[in-house]
Structure 1
Amino acid sequence: MKISIRGKISLAFMIFISLSALIWARSYYSQYILNQKIQIIERKYDLFNAILEARRYEKNYFLSFDRKNIAEALNYVRQAEDILRNILKEYGKYTLAKNLDQSITELVTYKESLTNLLNFQEEGHLMVPPNIIELIRKQGRILTNKLEKIVKKESDFTRDLIGKSQTIHLLALIPVFILSVLVALFLVFSVNRPLKTIENAITKIASGDFENIPEIKTGDEFESLAYSLNNMIDELSKRNKQLVQAQKLASLGKLTSGVAHELNNPLNNISTSIQILIEEIEEDGLEYKKELLVGAEKEVERGKEIVRSLLEFARERTLTLKQVYFLDLINRAIKHVKPEIPDNIRLKVEVPDNIQATIGLRIRSVIINLITNAVHAMKDGGEITIRAYNELDKDGFSFQVIDTGEGIPEKIISKVFDPFFTTKEVGKGSGMGLSIVYGIMEQHGGSISVSSEVGNGATFTCFLPFHQPDQRDL
């Protein structure tokens, strides 16, 4: 039979409440009985002390024959009688001594003997017969001994009851402990573990791993949730494959369109020049014909450059990784690109000399490309800042190329790494540079991002890990 999580928790809660109620009722009953016993003992001690006081005055009388002693003894006996009757009335069913009625009779007899003794004395008799003295002493002694035993018995029983109550409380904790352990195990195995499994599966889904959740057999909502999630994962996996395929087709279409557009322009120019030459081959105008041939040659070079960029973009080369100081790599890149930097552009380097990493030398091409793009973005001059810093928590370092140029509009900033995307004039660039940079950074296990505001320049931020395998296909 399948029980829902709500049912399991409700059942555990009901058991816990029932057990707690039983323990509370048992504890309350024990405490109530114990309280009654303590009050009985207090009253019996009062009774016992009253009898002792009466016996003391009785003894004093037989020593001095002073009637005041008998009167005091009678007062204490009456107090003892009241206490004993009160015990019978209030605590009769809780007291151990079941013959207290007989004790009252004995107490009344003792009181009558003392009263007779007092009357005997008031009648003018100076001497008390020895048999009366012995009778009163015997009655007092019997009462004292009997009450002493009763008090001792009640005290022993109360001590025993306290011990049993402590034992019961300790034993009552055992089922509570067992129930707590069972609830904890239930939460671990029936709640926490399935939740952890589902959490791990969702984390994998977020990272692109559409692996099914291991089957959960708990017979509750978690089992249904896992089944539903697996159905969702299967559907997401199917949709993801369709999306990847659609993206491939879209990328292929975009690349084809770009290649066709970029190659079509120089081919049209070459075709036009050749047609003019064919038509005017026999006419004069050698300089004009030469100009047409030079233009055609430039267009051929442009087409070759586009093809080279495509090959560079698609080519996989095996390079030897080398441990270098990043500042040295920056200096070599700057030396290479320095002739192309106009005098109205300042170059500032903020790279510490302690950044050392194992990277491919193609990273120099990344730096050159980013500096070149920055130069092209500052037609009226400005400043290029190359900055680098360690990121030890990521086991790598970042470097930035910052310019103060015209910036990149928000609507196109997401396209800057797309193949053939360029904002330059026709014939001024293939639009492959940043695509190649992006590919090089990815192949190195790094990343590149751009931030910009129109009129405030652009910042390209790159991250590279310190260490990589000895050889990689780059």
Structure 2
Amino acid sequence: MHWPFPLYLNIRQKVLVGLILCIFAIGSIGMMSLNNLKAIEKKQHLLQVADDLGNIILEIRRYEKNYLLYGSSEDLNETHKYLEEAQKVLARISPEEGNLKAVPLLNRLREELLTYKKFLNQMTHKGSQNEDASDSTLQEHTRESGKSLVDLSQELVILEHRRILYLLNTLKAQLLASLGILLLLGLSLVSVVANKIVRPLRVIEKTTLRIAEGDFQPIPVLQTHDETQRVVEALNRMVAELEKRQDQLVQAEKLSSLGILSSGIAHQLNNPLNNISTSCQILLEELDEGDKDFARRMLNNVEGEVHRARDIVRGLLEFSRAKEFSLAPASLSQVVERSVRLISSQVPPGIEVLTEIPEGLTLNLDFQQMQQVFLNLTMNAIQAIKNPPGRILIRAEINESDGEKEALIQVKDSGIGIPAENISHVFDPFFTTKEVGKGTGLGLSVVYGIVQKHQGTISVESREGEGTCFTIRLPLPAVNT
């Protein structure tokens, strides 16, 4: 079955629906309140008329009493005059009767006014014919009718007072209910904005900061079926692509390092090859003499040099080989030793590379990538020592920070140092202070990314003319604690 409307609303539609509901609620509440205010206004007008009618009826009763006491024709005329005015007041109320609950009361008032007028006319007729207008029965009926008029007018006033109070209480209840509805709608809208917009934006913000620090963990995708889900999915694709680019960058930096090391590696291989060649020549010359011990020594020398050349080539191949990032227990001293061995041919005379790594210190490392870290840091240290002699020290120790143990590794040099204004930029991609063609500015950026992938941190301290110290902190596995 095909639905005419989407099953899931996106954020814009949700906000729009919330605003439409708020506007509808405000409009409905406003219309109801306006109707109540109009009703109160109508009731207030009727109450004023009822008060006027009550005052007129009191005046009628006053002149009626004066007439009955003193028999003055002027009092009788005033009574007729106020009686006509009372009927006019009732006539003004008539157009509004259709909406009033006081209709029966007004009808009784109208009937009672006619009855009172009939008695008053009888009294006037008797008076005009010089008959005794003080007939006790007629007077009694007139008084009772007048009293009924007073009672009915007061009842009308009381009724309208009650109706006004009822409408005011209804209006108050409507306003309170409307405030509750608006509050619920507002909270719902705030909840939608907070959960569907603000919270995902904060997650995206934190994720971008994590990515900037080299953490490429994907974000969990919530099935919200709106823009935030699509943004998170796109961000996860971007994170995966960035991680792939990071690995490519590490590999490119390896190849760059191999290019720098190539001449030194050739020199390192040349020495064992020369020794092999020399041993073979001597062995050939002395072959006729048949000295087996001498031949054995020469062959042992050849074997040792072959192993030496094999180790050089193996270290080079292992370093250059591309593989997926994976952590495994590894001896830190072996990582540093192989890195120093690879770069040893690039160390100028007068520069000493020292290592102080505890033999039993084992960390969860990606051997190749951590080798790249020490290779880059050592290469930078060599280039920082412009005028040998100088010294590079790679040391490590177990340090306790915030109750947790960690491996603290330092690479110190006695070079020219880094200017203070450049300290905050040394890990930025493509930032370099070297001459054009002497560096890409990616070495320390790659180092930073590799250390972050190992759940560690790296910092730098430097003073111009005194040297630089890079400090790496890596989590310590349980085997070392």
Residue type at the aligned position of 1:229: L
1:116 shift after superposition: 5.4
Residue type at the aligned position of 1:34: I
Contact 1:5–1:220 (CA<8 Å) still a contact in 2?
Answer: yes
User: Residues of 2 paired with 1:25 and 1:228: CA distance?
Assistant: 47
Residue type at the aligned position of 1:94: N
1:246 shift after superposition: 0.4
Aligned counterpart for 2:217 among listed residues 202, 211, 221: 211
User: Residues of 2 paired with 1:247 and 1:24: CA distance?
Assistant: 70
Q: 1:111-150 counterparts in 2 under 5 A?
A: 111=117, 113-114=119-120, 117-118=123-124, 121=127, 128-150=134-156
Aligned counterpart for 2:48 among listed residues 35, 38, 42: 42
1:101 shift after superposition: 4.1
Label 1:213 to 1:304 Cα distance change in 2 as closer, same or farther (>3 A). Answer: closer
Check if 1:229 corresponds to 2:235: yes
User: Residues of 2 paired with 1:200 and 1:159: CA distance?
Assistant: 58
RMSD: 5.0
Residue type at the aligned position of 1:95: L
User: Residues of 2 paired with 1:14 and 1:168: CA distance?
Assistant: 20
Q: Deviations over 1:314-360 (max 9, x none)?
A: x45359xxxxxxxxxxxxxxxxxxxxxxxxxxxxxxxxxxxxxxxxx
User: Residues of 2 paired with 1:308 and 1:143: CA distance?
Assistant: 127
What are the ranges of 5 or more consecutive residues in structure 1 without an aligned counterpart? 265-302, 320-361, 375-386, 388-397, 399-408, 419-443, 452-456
1:200 shift after superposition: 1.9
Matched with 1:311 is 353
Residue type at the aligned position of 2:215: D
Label 1:132 to 1:461 Cα distance change in 2 as closer, same or farther (>3 A). Answer: farther
Matched with 2:260 is 254
Label 1:72 to 1:414 Cα distance change in 2 as closer, same or farther (>3 A). Answer: farther
User: Residues of 2 paired with 1:129 and 1:182: CA distance?
Assistant: 79
Residue type at the aligned position of 2:182: V
Aligned counterpart for 1:97 among listed residues 97, 102, 109: 102
Matched with 1:182 is 188
Matched with 1:161 is 167
Matched residue of 1:106: which SS?
A: helix
1:241 shift after superposition: 0.2
Q: Figure out how many residues of one structure are paired with residues of the other and give that number.
A: 335
Check if 1:77 corresponds to 2:86: no
User: Residues of 2 paired with 1:217 and 1:119: CA distance?
Assistant: 95
Q: Deviations over 1:409-452 (max 9, x none)?
A: 9774997999xxxxxxxxxxxxxxxxxxxxxxxxx97755789x
Matched with 1:56 is 62
Residue type at the aligned position of 1:28: L
Matched with 2:250 is 244
Q: Deviations over 1:193-216 (max 9, x none)?
A: 322222222111111111111122
Contact 2:64–2:79 (CA<8 Å) still a contact in 1?
Answer: yes
User: Residues of 2 paired with 1:181 and 1:253: CA distance?
Assistant: 63
Label 1:130 to 1:318 Cα distance change in 2 as closer, same or farther (>3 A). Answer: same
Matched residue of 1:311: which SS?
A: strand
What are the ranges of 5 or more consecutive residues in structure 2 without an aligned counterpart? 1-6, 271-344, 360-408, 424-431, 442-455
User: Residues of 1 paired with 2:69 and 2:144: CA distance?
Assistant: 17
Label 1:416 to 1:88 Cα distance change in 2 as closer, same or farther (>3 A). Answer: same
Label 1:18 to 1:317 Cα distance change in 2 as closer, same or farther (>3 A). Answer: same
Q: 1:387-398 counterparts in 2 under 5 A?
A: none
Residue type at the aligned position of 1:12: G
User: Residues of 1 paired with 2:468 and 2:77: CA distance?
Assistant: 112
User: Residues of 2 paired with 1:5 and 1:190: CA distance?
Assistant: 7
Contact 1:3–1:220 (CA<8 Å) still a contact in 2?
Answer: yes
1:64 shift after superposition: 2.6
Contact 2:264–2:346 (CA<8 Å) still a contact in 1?
Answer: no
Label 1:304 to 1:249 Cα distance change in 2 as closer, same or farther (>3 A). Answer: closer
TM-score, normalised relative to structure 2: 0.56
Contact 1:36–1:94 (CA<8 Å) still a contact in 2?
Answer: no
User: Residues of 1 paired with 2:135 and 2:115: CA distance?
Assistant: 18
Q: Deviations over 1:385-412 (max 9, x none)?
A: xx9xxxxxxxxxx9xxxxxxxxxx9774
Label 1:462 to 1:69 Cα distance change in 2 as closer, same or farther (>3 A). Answer: farther
Label 1:412 to 1:73 Cα distance change in 2 as closer, same or farther (>3 A). Answer: farther
Contact 2:460–2:469 (CA<8 Å) still a contact in 1?
Answer: yes
Matched with 1:277 is none
Q: 1:396-435 counterparts in 2 under 5 A?
A: 412=435
User: Residues of 2 paired with 1:30 and 1:199: CA distance?
Assistant: 51
Contact 1:40–1:87 (CA<8 Å) still a contact in 2?
Answer: yes
TM-score, normalised relative to structure 1: 0.57
Matched with 1:30 is 36
Range 69-78 or range 126-135, more displaced: 126-135
Residue type at the aligned position of 2:100: T
User: Residues of 2 paired with 1:34 and 1:219: CA distance?
Assistant: 50
Contact 2:461–2:469 (CA<8 Å) still a contact in 1?
Answer: yes
Q: Deviations over 1:289-336 (max 9, x none)?
A: xxxxxxxxxxxxxx9972663634xx45359xxxxxxxxxxxxxxxxx
Residue type at the aligned position of 1:96: K
Range 193-202 or range 213-222, more displaced: 193-202
1:258 shift after superposition: 7.6
Residue type at the aligned position of 1:191: I
Label 1:123 to 1:257 Cα distance change in 2 as closer, same or farther (>3 A). Answer: farther
1:239 shift after superposition: 0.9
Residue type at the aligned position of 1:217: Q
Q: 1:230-309 counterparts in 2 under 5 A?
A: 230-256=236-262, 306=348, 309=351
Label 1:77 to 1:258 Cα distance change in 2 as closer, same or farther (>3 A). Answer: farther
1:221 shift after superposition: 1.4
Matched with 1:427 is none
Q: Deviations over 1:127-175 (max 9, x none)?
A: 6332332232122122222222222223223323322332233333343
